[in-house]
Amino acid sequence: MKAGEAASFPWDDVLAFCLGRLRWSPGDFWNATPREIAAAFRGAPGMIEAPCPSLGELEKLMRRFPDDPGTGRRPEGDA
């Protein structure tokens, strides 16, 4: 995205959250107002209230669960 350009709305993320996590029907989703969707995000346990890990915690997790640089996924056979 270039400076001055507006970010596009994250439709895929919002749809996945409302239909997948909250299990709304498509009709419920499309009938919801933006304010209702925002309230659903705020009310979902673990979505907003969860603190971000510190840099040290993140580095520890990255050492414990390294990604395969070629795929961005954990290497095969890791549990």
The pLDDT tens digits for 18-48 are: 999 889 999 999 999 988 988 888 877 655 5
Q: Are 41 and 17 in contact (CB under 8 A)?
A: yes
What pLDDT is recorded for position 27?
A: 94
Residue 32 carries which side chain, given as an amino acid letter?
Answer: A
pTM score, two decimals? Answer: 0.46
- 63 exposure class (CB count in 10 Å sphere: 0-12, 13-18, 19+): exposed
Q: How far apart are CA 73 and CA 54, in angstroms?
A: 22
Mean pLDDT of the chain: 78
Compute the average pLDDT of residues 47-53.
Answer: 60
Reference 15, options 36, 27, 29; nearest CA is: 29
Reference 34, options 51, 57, 53, 11; nearest CA is: 11
What pLDDT is recorded for position 76?
A: 61
What pLDDT is recorded for position 72?
A: 58
